[in-house]
Amino acid sequence: MKIQFKPFTILPMAIALVMAPRLGHAQVNATIQIGSQHYGHEIRVYPYSMDADGDWHVTYRNWRPVTVYSLNGRFYTRSVPGARVVQVYSYNNQYFLPPQDAGWNNFDRRYRYDERPQETDYNIIDGLVGIFGQRPPRTWGSEVVVNPYSREAYGDWRSGYRRWRPVTLYFRNNRYFLRAVPGSRPVSVYSWNNEYFLPPQDQQWDHYDRRFNYGRRPTDDDYRNVERIPGQYDRQPPAQPGQQPAPYPQAPGQRYGSELQVTMYSPQALGDWRTAYNGWETATIYNLNGRYYPTQVPGARPLMVYRSQNQYFLPPQDRGWDNVDRRYDYRLRPTDEDYNNVRRRP
């Protein structure tokens, strides 16, 4: 039996074959994406806390082992080229490292101990705690990681800003959240490719994007806060042999950033610390030769101070203040040298 094709059925088939795209290098290059879209969602990972997560001997079954991907001090939910697989725990919508007690080894049969965090992971997380403070209450919701604007990652803002989505986040205690929390300040940022980042600081950007809420634009504190993250990250080019990487983003001709004016705590100006300290923000600054900077400086010593209404001041020296503020990293408390430096200043 012969099969006959009608003329009007052959013509569309021929057109489809001619119009079909050819697979080749051009198609592969077209799939290359700007920024870190293929990195997935970046998350904040915290240290294990008995207060927040419970005694691991009893509550570990409530935790969920989760595999994340570590690259240059950042943690992502999806595989990243060159990243290392790390298994952490998830509980109450927060991610945290497993306990370091010797008894925890091979205790949880669900956990893949061959993917346990390395000592560098614990050091990185501890460093971030020293900058951003202790873990926020879980009632505040998930913390959002905010990055500086990068032309290499997000494209030239003049031609690509319409792809970005203006988003309002809420700032409290050096952290950003998706919803308003008590005492928070609304900040407008951009979102693109599952990432949040501050808008560019070019003067031409002022009122350029009509969708953006310029009444909630980030302050200088927001830019300093985001740029204080230590380490070399994925968007920075690798250092050449013999070249030391910059410890923090530098502006042209500006080596250490703006110097901060730090004052002494004053109950008359700031209120009694026993009742007022919850309204202060913690901030990690850096002392180099008696001068204080908002970003890490080679050879500088980190210390944690307080900030209120854009004023930086040393914590009180009363003995009762020890271990009162859980947000404060008492390992970074100022030394007598700091108090003497600030007292001598006019």
Residues 6+ apart with CB under 8 A from 331: 130
Predicted confidence at residue 305, as pLDDT, reads 93
Predicted confidence at residue 39, as pLDDT, reads 57
The CA distances from residue 313 to 184, 225, 288, 333, 342, in Å, are 20, 16, 17, 12, 9
Predicted confidence at residue 237, as pLDDT, reads 33
Alpha-carbon 270 to chain mean position = 29
∠ CA 312-223-231, nearest 5°, is 95
Predicted confidence at residue 40, as pLDDT, reads 64
For CA atoms 325, 180, 153, 161, the dihedral sign is: negative
Rounded distance between C-alpha atoms, residue 114 and residue 67, angstroms: 12
Predicted confidence at residue 68, as pLDDT, reads 92
Q: Is 232 helix (H, G, I), strand (E, B) or coil?
A: coil
Predicted confidence at residue 9, as pLDDT, reads 47
For the record, the structure tokens of 343 come out as 């007292």
Strand partners, 283: 305
Predicted confidence at residue 256, as pLDDT, reads 54
Predicted confidence at residue 20, as pLDDT, reads 42
Predicted confidence at residue 13, as pLDDT, reads 44
Predicted confidence at residue 4, as pLDDT, reads 54
Q: Which residues of the chain have pLDDT under 70?
A: 1-40, 130-132, 228-258, 346
For the record, the structure tokens of 19 come out as 């119009």
User: Which residue is it, tokens 């953006």?
Assistant: 212
- Alpha-carbon radius of gyration of the chain: 25
Q: Is 303 helix (H, G, I), strand (E, B) or coil?
A: strand
Residues shown for the chain: 346
> 184: which DSSP letter?
-
Residue 113: HSE in the Cβ half-sphere, 13 Å Cα cutoff: 9
Predicted confidence at residue 220, as pLDDT, reads 85
Residues 6+ apart with CB under 8 A from 147: 153, 195, 196, 197, 198, 226
Predicted confidence at residue 30, as pLDDT, reads 27
Contact 96, 50 (CB under 8 A): no
Rounded distance between C-alpha atoms, residue 231 and residue 296, angstroms: 10
Q: Report which of 125, 131, 148, 171 is spatially closest to residue 285, judged by C-alpha positions.
A: 131
Q: Is 164 helix (H, G, I), strand (E, B) or coil?
A: coil
Predicted confidence at residue 314, as pLDDT, reads 95
Contact 229, 128 (CB under 8 A): yes
Burial class (CB in 10 A: 0-12, 13-18, 19+), 28: exposed
Predicted confidence at residue 127, as pLDDT, reads 76
